[in-house]
Amino acid sequence: MRWFWVDRFTEFVGSSHAVGHKGIALSDSFMHDHWDCYPTMPHSLIAEGMAQTGGLLVSEMYDFKELVVLAKFSKLSFQGITRGGDSLTYRAEIENVRDVGASVTVKGHCGEELRSVGEIFFARLQAGDVGDADDGMPTRLFDPVDLAHWLHVVGIFDVGVKKDGTRMRAVDYGLPTKLAQ
Amino acid sequence: MPSQDEIFTKVQEALVDALGVDEDEVTPEATLQGDLDAESIDFLDIVFRLEKSFDIKIERGELFPEDILNDTAYVQDGKVNADGIVQLKQRMPFADLSRFEANPQVQNLGKQLTVADMCAFVEYKLAT
């Protein structure tokens, strides 16, 4: 199973907001044991989808090149249950930005119904932030080929625009322009 | 200019939201790191909330001047020296540093920052 918790983006505006979608199917493996007689999507995985939507939005501000990690959910609440056949729409909006990180608000809806709300903090790690562990700190979170693959398959380069309104292109971020075969 | 009670109420609200603590835990004497378990990333969250609540702008290092604490001119063997104390007092006129001066280990500064210090910081920012 690939750790993709957003299937496709339909909006992605740098330094502003992103809209991602996640379809839930009874065939999804996480539904089998959660629970057998009444399958529902675990809230932890909804939170992961919210974090991926917000995390990619924050990461774009640093050209997808820096170590942007989820630091904390300041707030997280869920309403209702999400079942097979539902489609969740996550809308992430940048709230605040500093050189050390950013906060994002993400709401998850199923149709008109609000299913989740979260305030998420992402830290931008820089040399010196983790003390003695710096020597072992990776320079980036993802291999560029893997990252490019992820961004391509979820449609970010199909819909994404940068802060200045120009189209997001993989090459602008130093990423491969085509999916690896 | 809001009253001290109004400032405390808003600071309390910011800390409850940022740290997930109960309102009654946020007393003026409570220390942010020691009593309320604030971690470094929480300070950024708190700063964002204070900016929004009070319509102020807080620059990096204003609330917690980490640049001084990372400067070898002011820190030796893990302790802030006399020059460093002078710098801290200039940069943190809102904080009572008397306890810190008695044992100026770098890590003690964050541990000793109280809710009352936060309120004083906001009052200082609103007045300047």
Give the distance from residue B41's alpha carbon to the nearest chain A alpha carbon, in angstroms: 7
Domain holding B126, by residue range, is 1-58+114-128
Q: What is the mean pLDDT of residues A80-87?
A: 97
The number of domains in chain A is: 1
Q: Is B98 in the same domain as B123?
A: no
A34 given a catalytic annotation:
yes
Which residues in B lie closer than 8 A to residue A96 (C-beta atoms)? Answer: 48, 51
DSSP B69: H
Domain holding A143, by residue range, is 8-173
Mean pLDDT, chain A, rounded, equals: 91
Q: Which of A75, A101, A128 is facing B44, going by the closest CB pair?
A: A101
The number of domains in chain B is: 2
Instruction: Tell me the per-residue pLDDT of A114-145, one tens digit each, with 9 for 90 and over.
Output: 999 999 999 998 755 555 455 566 777 788 89
| Residue A111, domain member (yes or no) | yes
Q: Is B99 in the same domain as B126?
A: no
Residue whose pair of structure tokens reads 């990619």 in the numeric block = A56
Q: Which residues pair with A120 in a beta bridge?
A: A73, A104
Give the distance from residue B59's alpha carbon to the nearest chain A alpha carbon, in angstroms: 9
Residue whose pair of structure tokens reads 């990333």 in the numeric block = B41
Q: What is the mean pLDDT of residues A17-41?
A: 94
Low-confidence ranges of chain B (pLDDT < 50): none
pLDDT of residue A99: 85
A147, exposed or middle or buried, with CB in 10 Å at 0-12, 13-18, 19+?
buried
Instruction: Tell me the per-residue pLDDT of B72-87, one tens digit each, with 9 for 90 and over.
Output: 999 999 999 999 999 9
Output the domain CATH number for residue B53: 1.10.1200.10
Exposure string over B81-120, b if 16+ CB within 10 A, otherwise e: eeebbebbeebbebbebeebeeebebebbbebbbbbbbbb
The answer to whether the CB atoms of B44 and A95 lie below 8 A apart is: no
The answer to whether the CB atoms of A121 and B17 lie below 8 A apart is: no
Q: What percent of chain A has pLDDT over 70?
A: 92
